[in-house]
């Protein structure tokens, strides 16, 4: 299986995040990608290739033009404003019961308008890295579509699944899986399924496709009653309008291990079997791992191999895209276990 990765992805290097009422060291850091890359090479998963540049058009198919313009120009405006902090955090947001328009002109108003949380800093190279990450996703999709590969791995960083049409958050700036899914549809595919196995609910991806039947969104995650992103990912969210029935969520209790998880996974696989997608995209987070510093599931490293083996049995063309996973020392092993389990 080929891996798609660009060193430009490493240029987003957040120092801190706001969590638990504190400024804490960031966990979504460049070494995550480096250890996965090293493990891919050590375990000879396959060739590592650089992404092609797909330009801005595929980004505009998912994200709002004003959001992309904001992300593109943000750092220059931050500097022009005279800010000296080495990264930016939002701290004020529009709220349901108050008006959200007009879009503010002030930099802090804009940060709030286009974000979901205060845990996701923007630095000078954030958007450049996010675009490289999206290009990795697109290139992996192209390898599977045209390159005669039954599967490919997009080593994406920063991740994508919390990011929506017009907001960043949850360490995500461009929704890599959504961008790749839409690109495959635009290339002639009829149906795409996205299986999200990150520990956190893929709220951005779900929202993007919520009213559409051409993308089936399935997510297994920690119950949002007890875990980030807190407001989405409940069992009763099943899509709307033409998309009714094309979203499925399996919120699982904190402490879930492979035994409980794999039962929910079997149900998700049944949905995939019925839907018969042209392509399956896997939003692959490794934060279900028992040692993950911000998560509360109990996967062992071998459970990631079982996950890959189960996905193999689906017999579908698959694009794996990396999402979360913050136990850096084990991240390479856990990630390559999935991909290796899939190959075997
Ligand atoms: N105290 C991804 O895995 N912060 N994003 C949680 C917990 C946000 C995770 C704070 C976690 C975002 C892609
Ligand atoms: Zn996650």
Separation of alpha carbons 143 and 2, rounded Å: 8
Separation of alpha carbons 95 and 36, rounded Å: 39
- Do residues 271 and 218 lie in contact, with contact meaning Cβ atoms separated by under 8 Å? yes
pLDDT confidence of residue 344: 77
Which one from 63, 162, 200, 221 is the annotated catalytic residue?
162
- Do residues 215 and 304 lie in contact, with contact meaning Cβ atoms separated by under 8 Å? no
Q: What is the ipTM of this complex?
A: 0.97
- CATH dotted code for 2-343: 3.40.800.20
- Minimal-distance CA residue to ligand 1 atom 9: 170
316 CA → ligand 2 middle, Å: 24
Separation of alpha carbons 144 and 184, rounded Å: 10
Separation of alpha carbons 310 and 123, rounded Å: 39
Strands 22-25 and 16-19: antiparallel
**201 CB less than 6 Å from ligand 1?**
no
**123 CB less than 6 Å from ligand 1?**
no
pLDDT more than 70, % of the chain:
100
Helix, strand, coil % (nearest 5) of the chain? 40, 15, 45
- Minimal-distance CA residue to ligand 1 atom 3: 324
pLDDT category at 199 given cuts 50, 70, 90 is very high
Mean pLDDT of 290-308: 98
**287 CB less than 6 Å from ligand 1?**
yes
**Element at 18 (helix H, strand E):** strand 16-19
The one-character DSSP state at 87 is S
Separation of alpha carbons 170 and 320, rounded Å: 19
**Element at 320 (helix H, strand E):** strand 318-322
Question: For all residues of the chain together, what is the average pLDDT?
Answer: 98
pLDDT confidence of residue 192: 99
User: Does the annotation mark 162 as catalytic?
Assistant: yes
Separation of alpha carbons 71 and 180, rounded Å: 19
The one-character DSSP state at 55 is -
**22 CB less than 6 Å from ligand 1?**
no
- Minimal-distance CA residue to ligand 1 atom 6: 228
Ligand 1 atom showing the smallest separation from residue 228 Cα: 6
The string of pLDDT tens digits covering residues 92-127 is 999 999 998 999 999 999 999 999 999 999 999 999
Q: What are the boundaries of each domain within the chain?
A: 2-343
Mean pLDDT of 194-209: 99
Separation of alpha carbons 325 and 27, rounded Å: 9
Mean pLDDT of 125-137: 99
47 CA → ligand 1 middle, Å: 31
Alpha carbon distances (Å) from 328 to 34, 250, 325, 338? 10, 26, 7, 16
The string of pLDDT tens digits covering residues 66-77 is 999 999 999 999
Separation of alpha carbons 276 and 326, rounded Å: 33
pLDDT more than 90, % of the chain:
99
Give 236's contacts (C-beta < 8 A, 6+ positions apart): none
Separation of alpha carbons 333 and 286, rounded Å: 10
Alpha carbon distances (Å) from 8 to 33, 128, 135, 136? 11, 7, 11, 11
Length of the chain: 344
- Minimal-distance CA residue to ligand 1 atom 11: 170
The string of pLDDT tens digits covering residues 168-177 is 999 999 999 9
Mean pLDDT of 254-273: 98
Mean pLDDT of 253-276: 98
- Minimal-distance CA residue to ligand 1 atom 7: 294
Instruction: Output 100 or 31, whichever has higher pLDDT.
Output: 31
Residue in 14, 18, 28, 89 to alter for ligand 1 test, most ligand atoms within 8 A of Cβ: 28
The one-character DSSP state at 68 is H
184 CA → ligand 2 middle, Å: 24
Separation of alpha carbons 232 and 236, rounded Å: 10
Separation of alpha carbons 63 and 171, rounded Å: 16
**149 CB less than 6 Å from ligand 1?**
no
**18 CB less than 6 Å from ligand 1?**
no
Backbone phi, psi, residue 68, to 5°: -65, -40
pLDDT confidence of residue 235: 98
283 CA → ligand 2 middle, Å: 10
Query: Could you tell me the pTM of the whole model?
Result: 0.98
- Angle at Cα 19 formed by Cα 17 and Cα 23, nearest 5°? 55
92 CA → ligand 1 middle, Å: 19
Give 88's contacts (C-beta < 8 A, 6+ positions apart): 74, 78, 107, 111, 121, 122, 123
Mean pLDDT of 65-91: 97
- Do residues 217 and 194 lie in contact, with contact meaning Cβ atoms separated by under 8 Å? yes
159 CA → ligand 1 middle, Å: 11
């Amino acid at each position: 299986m080929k891996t798609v990765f660009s060193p430009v992805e490493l240029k987003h290097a957040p120092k801190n995040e706001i969590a638990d009422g504190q400024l804490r060291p960031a966990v979504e850091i460049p070494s995550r990608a480096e250890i996965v890359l090293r493990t891919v090479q050590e375990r000879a998963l396959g060739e590592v290739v650089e992404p092609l540049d797909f330009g801005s058009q595929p980004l505009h198919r998912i994200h709002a033009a004003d959001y992309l313009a904001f992300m593109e120009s943000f750092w220059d405006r931050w500097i022009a404003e005279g800010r000296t902090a080495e990264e930016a955090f939002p701290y004020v947001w529009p709220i349901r019961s108050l008006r959200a328009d007009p879009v503010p002109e002030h930099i802090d108003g804009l940060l709030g308008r286009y974000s979901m949380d205060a845990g996701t800093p923007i630095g000078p190279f954030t958007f450049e890295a996010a675009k490289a990450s999206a290009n990795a996703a697109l290139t992996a999709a192209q390898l599977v579509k045209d390159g005669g590969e039954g599967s490919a791995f997009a080593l994406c960083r920063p991740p994508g699944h919390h990011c929506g049409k017009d907001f960043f958050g949850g360490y995500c700036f461009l929704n890599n899986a959504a961008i790749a899914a839409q690109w495959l549809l635009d290339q002639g595919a009829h149906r795409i399924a996205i299986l999200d196995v990150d520990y956190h609910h893929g709220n951005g991806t779900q929202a993007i496709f919520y009213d559409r039947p051409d993308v089936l969104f399935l997510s297994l995650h920690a119950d949002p009653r007890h875990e980030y992103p807190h407001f989405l990912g409940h069992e009763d969210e099943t899509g709307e309008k033409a998309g009714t029935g094309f979203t499925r969520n399996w919120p699982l209790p904190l402490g879930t291990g492979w035994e409980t998880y794999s039962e929910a996974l079997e149900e998700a696989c049944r949905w995939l079997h019925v839907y018969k997608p042209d392509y399956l995209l896997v939003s692959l987070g490794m934060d279900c791992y028992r040692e993950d510093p911000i998560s509360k599931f109990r996967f062992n490293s071998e459970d990631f191999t079982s996950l890959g083996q189960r996905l193999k049995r689906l017999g579908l063309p698959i694009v794996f895209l990396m999402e979360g996973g913050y136990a850096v020392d084990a991240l390479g092993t856990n990630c390559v276990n999935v991909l290796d389990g899939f190959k075997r």
